[in-house]
């Protein structure tokens, strides 16, 4: 039986993250042009300037409440995190499966323990780079997973709940590795 990811259960943005990620995944898979998806694949967190990114910022992220309308100090950081998420989602179009734990997917893709450890210990720009490598592995092997969990990993970095998210990924990875060894 496949291990699943539970909703965070918290109110507000975190509880709506799975719905937002699902909507983004559907838009990328069904409604975006190949040019938009290609533009998002080339997206850099330091300079997200393409029209595909900004249409999603204004059309999806701001209305969902994950970005403020005003230029507050944390807006730039939030835009960079979402640029990393959208870049990864564009690299894995069609692989989003709500409820399929990222750790389980990493084990199925035979991602090494060392690489998973680097992902789980990384912060800020190093985390974004580790995400890019992780997404490449999952995309190359066409392993479906829940993008909401990876998004939660990036968005929780530096918050009080980051350890909860990282431990959830680690547990699902090592459970799947142990199950494969049996």
- pLDDT tens digit sequence for 116-151: 999 999 999 999 999 999 999 999 999 999 999 999
As a CATH number, domain 13-181 is: 1.10.520.40
Which residue shows structure tokens 């179009």?
93
- Helix, strand or coil, per DSSP, at residue 43: coil
Q: Kindly report whether the global pTM for this prediction surpasses the value 0.85.
A: yes
Alpha helices, DSSP H, located in the chain: 13-26, 34-41, 51-56, 62-64, 75-91, 102-108, 113-121, 124-140, 147-156, 162-181
CA distance 167 to 161: 10
Which of 63-77, 99-113, 166-180 is predicted least confidently? 63-77
CA distance 131 to 24: 18
Domain definitions of the chain by residue range:
13-181
pLDDT at 92 over 80: yes
pLDDT at 9 over 80: no
Mean predicted lDDT score pLDDT of the chain: 90
Average pLDDT over residues 162-173: 98
């Amino acid at each position: 039986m496949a291990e699943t990811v539970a909703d965070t259960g918290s109110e507000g943005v975190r509880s709506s993250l799975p719905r937002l990620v699902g909507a983004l995944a559907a838009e990328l898979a069904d409604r975006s042009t190949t040019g938009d998806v290609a533009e998002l694949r080339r997206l850099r967190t330091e300079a997200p300037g393409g029209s595909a990114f900004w249409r999603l910022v204004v059309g999806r992220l701001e209305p969902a409440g994950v970005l403020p309308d005003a230029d507050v100090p944390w807006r730039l950081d939030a835009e960079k995190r979402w640029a990393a998420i959208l870049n990864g989602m564009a690299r894995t179009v069609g692989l989003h499966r709500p409820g399929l734990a990222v750790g389980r997917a990493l084990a199925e893709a035979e991602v090494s323990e060392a690489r998973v450890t680097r992902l789980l210990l990384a912060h800020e720009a190093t985390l974004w780079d580790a995400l890019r490598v992780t997404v490449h592995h999952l995309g190359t092997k066409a392993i479906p997973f829940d993008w909401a969990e990876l998004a939660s990993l990036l968005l929780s970095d530096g918050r009080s709940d980051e350890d909860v998210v990282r431990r959830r990924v680690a547990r699902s990875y090592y459970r799947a590795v142990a199950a494969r060894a049996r």
